Homo-oligomer: A and B are copies of this chain.
Amino acid sequence: MGEPTRSTPSEAAPDDRRRVGLKDVARLAGVSVKTVSNVVNGYIHVTPRTRARVEQAIKELNYRPNLSARNLRLGRSGIIALAVPELDIPYFAELARLVVAAAEERGLTVLIDQTGGNRHREQQVAEGIRDHLIDGLIFSPLALTADDLSARTDDTPMVLLGERIHNGPADHVVVHNVAAAREATHHLAGLGRRRIAAIGAQDDAAGETGRLRLAGYRQALEEAGLPVDERLIAPVDAYHRADGARAMARLLESADPPDAVFCFNDLLALGALRTLLERGYEVPAQVALAGFDDIEDGRYGTPTLTTVSPDKRQISRLAVDLLVERMSGAAQGATREIYVDHRLVVRESTAGRLPS
């Protein structure tokens, strides 16, 4: 798996439509039909100079690729799929926008598939129930395992996102979860907080995100010389605001409640924040709060939310680039695991009102 799964078209078939065709564009640009086809397909083994020439010719001739005809001819649609668990988790919505933009630069259209993290739907996605429709797949699975994906019979090129599958059968773009969680927890400890809670632990198979971030949290506490109090680790069913609100309420029932909370995503943090403010706690004076994802939401709440900001633009670009390399055959063989940048963004929920 992971090998390029379709050969690059060696020659486009003669174009006998009356509309402007690949041949006309090739003639005007002074390049081969294959080069035009590569540009139209968004493939990377075209120099920027050649690409510009072809794009100029496409514009002059008002050439509009006939996808249906091209489909039949090349077995390609110019369409890739992005499959994510839930679009109303803003992290995925923001990622979707960026993937659409990155793909557009390559001349590719993105169709988005919301799986709900449902095993059956994820299997449909992986098994390419619509393998005649898409040229490639960017997939953030929650239910499927590496074994599931290795057993995949569909050969549509695929790039994986998320924490679910590491060192699996496809290229993978991922965040340094342990390191990032460690930094967020260090930040809270550095403020002098001593009872730092964690919201977001998950027991089930899909809980890899929670496990990695919990590992970073534990590591930071140990490094800071703080005891790990298991009662301060709040499990959740899902990563929505309501889960964060409930988990925070449980933590506040403790005789010795936390003075800081690291939430494993921003939605959990925003839910926790609501519970804290509703009950009259001052944030950050009494309880400091940090999240993970840097969704826009957290930048407009009051207080604004300190958070780990993964470079979502980099994730999106890399995912599209790696996929296009597999689609074009430019990348072959061993699968790649690529870690992207992140940074801790300190805002009011830990730093208090910043001087404006």
Contacts and interface: CB of A to CB of B under 8 A. Distances in A.
B81 A131 contact: no
A55 B356 CA distance: 62
A129 B67 contact: yes
Contacts of A297: 270, 297
A100 B79 CA distance: 20
Contact of A87 (B112, B124, B301): B112
A130 B79 contact: yes
Contact of A81 (B86, B111, B245, B300): B111
A308 interface: no
A185 B237 CA distance: 39
A307 to B, nearest CB: 15
Nearest to A118: B104
B86 A97 contact: yes
A356 B130 CA distance: 50
B88 A97 contact: yes
A68 interface: yes
A96 B111 contact: no
A344 B131 CA distance: 45
Interface stretch (A29-37, A40-48, A208-216, A272-280): A272-280
A240 to B, nearest CB: 8
A175 B161 CA distance: 37
A121 to B, nearest CB: 8
A241 B93 contact: no
A3 interface: no
Interface in A2-57: none
A183 interface: no
Given A131-B68, A274-B301, A114 B94 contact: no
Contact of A273 (B68, B94, B302): B302
A103 to B, nearest CB: 11
A178 to B, nearest CB: 28
Contacts of A271: 300
A114 B112 contact: yes
Contact of A93 (B93, B116, B277): B93
